[in-house]
Every structure is written in C-alpha cells, then in structure tokens.
Amino acid sequence: MSYVAPLKDMMFNIEHLANIEKIAAIPGFEEAGLETAQAVLEECAKLNEGVIAPLNWEGDKNPSSFKAGVVTTTPGFKDAFRQYGEGGWQGLQHPVEFGGQGLPKTIGAACGEMLNSANMSFALCPLLTDGAIEALLTAGSDELKAIYLENLISGKWTGTMNLTEPQAGSDLAMVRSRAEPQPDGTYKVFGTKIYITYGEHDMAENIVHLVLARVTGAPEGVKGISLFVVPKFMVKPDGSLGARNDVHCVSIEHKMGIKASPTAVLQYGDHGGAVGYLVGQENRGLEYMFIMMNAARYAVGVQGIAVAERAYQKAVGYARDRVQSRPVDGSINASAPIIHHPDVRRMLMTMRAYTEGCRAMATVAAAAYDAAHHHPDAEVRKQNQAFYEFMVPLVKGYSTEMSLEVTSLGVQVHGGMGFIEETGAAQYYRDAKILTIYEGTTAIQANDLVGRKTARDGGQTAKAIAAQVQATEAELRKQGSADALAVAKRLQAAREAFVDVVDFVAGNTKASPNAVFAGSVPYLMLAGNLMSGWQLGRALLVAQDALARGEDAAFMKAKITTARFYADHLLSKAPGTRDSIVQGADSVTAMALESF
C-alpha cells in the first residue's frame, strides 16, 4: 500500500491546537496563516507521495554502497533529492535573506513528518543539513554564513554533524579529535568520527561537516571542545569549488534499519590535516552543537510519529484485505477480513491513538517554538521557550518509544506475513529502533528532563504546564458529554500522578540521585503520555463543537473516539507508572552487581 499524507489530521492540529492564526499575527509570519499552511502541505504531500515514498522499499533492498572511498546512494535518490532542493523544501523554515522561505516551524514540522513517513532513510539527509544551518545561523561568523548558508538552504550542498568517536559515544568529554591553529586563522583538524549520517554520498556537490574537536592546549573535559566547519571540497573566493579537503570516508556501517542512509566513518587529517574554520569562539563548541542537537532531537521525535503513521496505514490496509476466521459476535456467518476481530481493532486503535496523540503534542511544541523565537513580547517569548524546552525530550523520547510499540503492532497485525520481509511491515519496525538511540538515547532525554527541566527550577515549569492541563479538565467537565467526562477523569488521574512524580524528582535529585534516575525514563514516558492525552482532550473539545455545528461528521466522530480510546487505554497507565517511580526505586538498584 502506498503512503497517503494525513493532511486532514495535520491541518486540524495546525488550526485548532497550534492556533496558526495567532502565529500569523507575529511580525514576519503574516503570510503564514491557515491558507498558506494548507497550500504548502498539499504541495508537500504530492512530492512525498509521488516521488519519495516509492523509493522507500527500494532503499531497504538496495541500500547505499561503498567502494574505494565513494558512496553511491540507492537508485532514484539523487534525482529525488534534486527535486526536493529545487522545490525549496530544504529552505522551508530558514531565513529569507539566505534564500529560505521563512515559514514557521508549525508548518515545517508537518512537512518533516510527511518526508519521514515517505522515506526515513532519505529524510535523514535534509534533517542533518537543517541542524548544520541552525548552528551556523546561531554561532557562525558573517563570513561563514556568506560562504555556506545559501548553498545549504538551497539543497545544493548538504550538512553533517560530527560528534561521536570510537571511544566517545554519549560521553563527549572523551572527544579526542584535535585542531591545530594555523597562521592564516584556519585550523588543521585530525581524528576519526563515527556514525556520521550522510557523511559521504553522491546527491550533492559539496558536504559541509560540522566537527567537534579540541584545540591544542584546550582544557580537558567538555569545557575544551570547539566546533569547526570542515568542507569536503574547499570553497574558492568566487564561491566555486576547489581542491578536495583532507577528510575521507573509510567505510559505511551495515545496519539493522535505515539502510539506504549511509552512516559513514570519516577520517580527518591522514594527509597533513583537514582545513577547518572555527565556528564562534574556541571551547564553546558543545554549546553550539546543542543548538544542532535540539533541532535534531525534535526532528527525530517527528520521525517516530512519521514511521508510526506509515506502519498504521500499512496495517489498516492489510486488516481490511486479509480474510481469516468468523467474527466472534456472529455478525458474519463466514470467514471475514480480520479488521472485524476485536483484538485487531484494539491493535489498530492503539496505533492510531499513539500516533495522533504524539502528532498533536509535537504540533503544539512547534507553535511554542515559533512564539519563543519570533513573538515581539519578551514575556511571551520566555514562557513559550520554557514550554518548548520542557517538551523537546518528550517529543523525542516518548514519540520514538511509541513508534517502536506501533511498528511492532504493525508486524503483529500482519501475523506471520509481518515477519516476512516482502510485506514491508518489518522495515518500519527495523527503521524505528534507531530513533530511541541516536541524537541522545531515551535515557539521555530522561536525564535532561530530570536535571535541566525539572530539578533545576524545583518543578515550576512542570507544574505550570500541569495547571494548563487542569484547565482543560474543567472545560471537558463543562462540555459534559460522556466522552468528555471520561477523558476528564483519566486526565485528572494522570495529571495528579505527574505532579506527584515532579515533587519526587524535585525533592530527591540532590539527596537520592540513584532513586530519581532509576525512574527517569518512566517519568519521561508518564510526562509524554500526559502531554499527548492532554492535546487529544483539547482536540475532543474542538471536535464536539464542530460536530454540534454539523461539520465533517465522520472525521470529528473519529477524533472523539480516538481521544476516548487514548484516555481509557493509554492515559489510564499513568497512576501505575507513578507508583513504580515513587515507590519502586529501591528495587531497581537493590540487586548485587555480581548477581547479574
């Protein structure tokens, strides 16, 4: 079954949950209202459904290949990437002054979801380029911006992010790549970087590597890391490409999923040193890299939603077609399509509810980002920034863990055929696994949620968000339908569980760090569950009103049903999660190490 972009659900979120018209009232976004969003999303859907999605299965069968230092991507990728660049899609959210379209993240995120649903391996190239653009916009000199930004934003060149080394995975204090200052103000960069997504490929004229390295004599640990631009080809003063720089791909990885995306091992400085240009100031590289990381973390959360959507569509298509066994209620007196069986319906509803809940959460987070970065009022910017920063580990952590469950259910709906590669259901499951690992594992997102986002301010931001959830509960009770009341009840129980955990985290992180961090991932999952359930509660209110006005009955009824299912079956898990965090910490670390 081919991919169909869920435009109606995306537009519902953009209009009603993200309030796009409020974003369009922000200076600079005047043209980015509902009409623009609809037009952009429709165009984006055409490219992804027609050009990029058909290459997904091909990329899994015929992944990128490596021979004598050259990486050749899947047949069709190069032409699709050319169309992607020419359509202006790489520059969608980037500044107009460098050739971008300057659209809000609220619109860009929906386009990112479509691209990743269509073909996650392909989408990783633009995703990393976006990160490189963000870092240069924030910390690059005017000269670096002039040389690199326009070509990155046009899709003519692509960007990478070089953090990881064989001995330094998540612990960047162990980075050993070095940079030696040169008399002309450049640096010579030496070292090995691993897991470099699209570190070498044949889809663009030049690749702009952003590399973490230590300047000679820099302090040890994370305080001594700097960030450098190291282009694959040197750029001449007139903007044309010159000599090949001393950075070479020595191999690409053989992976469980995202097989078409070349994951490179890059060697810097084997032939005298790769020429690098300092981004910002020496020893502030980690700070700048986190700008890329935060952009990428949100985008990876969107990847989780995207692959879940694709798996859901595939499973629904199969469940409608696959005839097996009589329905248990006797409604059909013969074997029927498996979509008639209650447990298959449960699996499909779980897939749908998770996907829609996380999409709603991510859309609202994108709107907060737009307000945080562009609103004229400083106080509004500050509040939205705090909300967005709290949401990033949830969008990344919860949405990606969710995608594993959804893609696994997708295989299960297919039964034995799901285990056979030819159906394509297994690819989504394999592709999804990396999402909980790269750009910071789920545990690293949870550490961020505990340390920076909860303990640091004593839980104030978390509790301010909980107060907003409580306001939605009151609205649901006022609305008064059976569905609204049921959702309000579950939302209240989940919110109270969340606040209990926030108090536990804020009160014990310093005194009993092991107890708090033993429950850090469950805390992240509880928080993500609550935020998704809250947004579906808001969606239910909108849908009830629309239904009363007779608008789009089938869609609105489905939205209400999905919100109710989420509350009954997913949000209802929150109190149990709270108990395991607050009362179960000791049993996590009680086992003697030699007993494992």
Catalytic residue positions, numbered: 439
- Could you list the beta-strand ranges (E) of 202-308: 206-215, 226-231, 233-235, 241-244, 247-252, 263-268, 274-278
CA distance 448 to 524: 10
- Which amino acid, one-letter code, is at 314? K
CA distance 362 to 394: 9
- DSSP designation for 202: S
Based on DSSP, count helices (H) and strands (E) in the chain, helices before strands: 20, 12
* CB distance 56 to 84 below 8 Å: no
Instruction: For residue 546, give Cα distances in angstroms to 353, 357, 433, 489.
Output: 20, 19, 38, 22
CA distance 43 to 294: 27
- Cα angle value 311/312/315 (rounded, 5°): 85
CA-closest candidate to residue 154, choices 113, 101, 109, 229: 101
81 phi and psi angles, rounded to 5 deg:
-70, -35
CA-closest candidate to residue 531, choices 487, 483, 469: 469
Instruction: For residue 93, give Cα distances in angstroms to 15, 98, 193.
Output: 18, 11, 29
Helical packing angle, 520-548 and 342-374, nearest 10° = 90
DSSP letters along 378-437, please?
Answer: HHHHHHHHHHHHHHHHHHHHHHHHHHHHHHHHHHHHHGGGGGSGGGSHHHHHHHHHGGGT
